[in-house]
Amino acid sequence: MRRVAVTGLGFITALGQEPKPFFESLMAGRAGIKRISADFVDSLSVKIAAEVSFDPLQHFSKKQLNIYDRTTQLSLIAASYAWKDSGIELLEFEKELAGVYFGTGLGGGHAINDLYFNLYKKEASRVSPLFVTKIMCNSSASHISTKFGFAGPCVTYSNACSSSALAIGEAYRQIQYGFTDVMLAGGAESVITYGSCKAWESLGVLAKEDTENPAASCRPFSKDRTGMTLGEGSGVVVLEEMERAKKRGATIYAELAGYGSTADAHHITSPSPDGQARAINQALREASINADGIDYINAHGTATIANDIAETQAIKKAFGAYAYKVPISSSKSMIGHLLGAAGAVEFAIALLAIKNKAVPPTANLRQSDPECDLDYVPNEGRAGINVRTIMANSFAFGGTNAVLVARAV
């Protein structure tokens, strides 16, 4: 099978989209979590989220904004950054061997919210025909494919919080087995709407606001954690057949070397450490890496009681005694939970750890939880570490697990 290189990264998050300041913010433990800017915030019990601040008119025309939901806007911005970063120029015939695999949990969340608001609140007798294509989950993938002219496979994965990690893993398979040479893979999510926020509130998994410091409200693995914080954003990687990348002199972030995908087959919301551990072991086996060969794990780390404990147990099952030695951190403490986009953005963060020889922290880790007793890199990043191999975990509602392993080249 063919080897796969990562030759481009692009993302847009509550901490920005420029790699250097973004990673510096992560290393410092700065969080982009704050009071929700929308007018409906006073109607919410939980008033904080990790929103992306950007001016759509700097990226799109008014005509395009009538076509693109906010999720698609974020997708196209991140994809453009990634493609520019890769430096690839495809001839027309090569575009038939280039594709897009993308993940999202909900799709056009803002368009859905607007549609029902118009129908039920404003009692509109008709709605715009553009709503259908703005709402559909494959809108982002289709618009990216159209923008770049990629005529290869264009597939959308909607598996809750593991969506974009699955998209990257399956895009990797396309190149491995020779179906494509180049893939844009990742995901996007934007669900900070009135309806979505109320739904997440009712589920009872959102973090209580820290009254002294709202930015510190999300505290993965900390004993005093109270839940997850919604975030929005997009992350995209460019995957390329290794020899092709080397031949053109590409800058290679890492080799994507292992991918694990399992189902808990257990419960729709309660995670299974056994299912997660099997996904970890699958990824390690494919990469031909022993557990003690992993230098850093970017954890799923949602900051809910059940998820953090289950992930800790899964890492112990898969890593044995080495589980206590490997640095692990949760980026969600700073950028929130990006749901369907989480896996892609967090994989990109792990790749930046290789590039920068540094491990970002788990911010706001105030109190050690006896049931989460691994090295979760509390509060401050660690620089000067020779990070050669990384693992990124994504574990979703529904029990769908995805794990990615990459190594320096």
Q: Are 40 and 292 in contact (CB under 8 A)?
A: no
CA gap 37, 378 in Å, rounded: 29
Rounded CA-CA distance 171/185 in Å is 6
Exactly one of 110, 137, 300, 372 is catalytic; name it.
300
Phi/psi of residue 358, nearest 5 degrees: -155, 150
Query: Residue 154 pairs with which residues in a beta bridge?
Result: 100
Q: Are strands 296-298 and 389-395 parallel, antiparallel or unpaired?
A: parallel
- In 3-state terms the chain splits into helix, strand, coil percentages (rounded to 5) of 40, 20, 40
Helix or strand (DSSP H, E) at 109:
helix 109-116
Residue 161 among the catalytic residues: yes
* Rounded Cα gap, residues 251 and 259, in angstroms: 22
Q: Which amino acid is residue 334, in one-letter code? A: M
154 flagged as catalytic: no
Residue 369 corresponds to which tokens in the numbers above? 């939880």
Look at strands 34-35 and 48-49 and give their pairing: antiparallel
Tokens of 288: 């031909």
Q: How many residues does the chain have?
A: 409
> Does residue 304 sit in helix, strand or coil?
coil
User: Which member of 161, 197, 218, 372 is catalytic?
Assistant: 161
Q: Reply yes or no on whether 59 is catalytic.
A: no
Which residue carries 């409906």 as its tokens? 40
By CB neighbour count within 10 A (0-12 exposed, 13-18 middle, 19+ buried), where does 34 fall?
middle
Q: Just list the catalytic residues.
A: 161, 300, 337
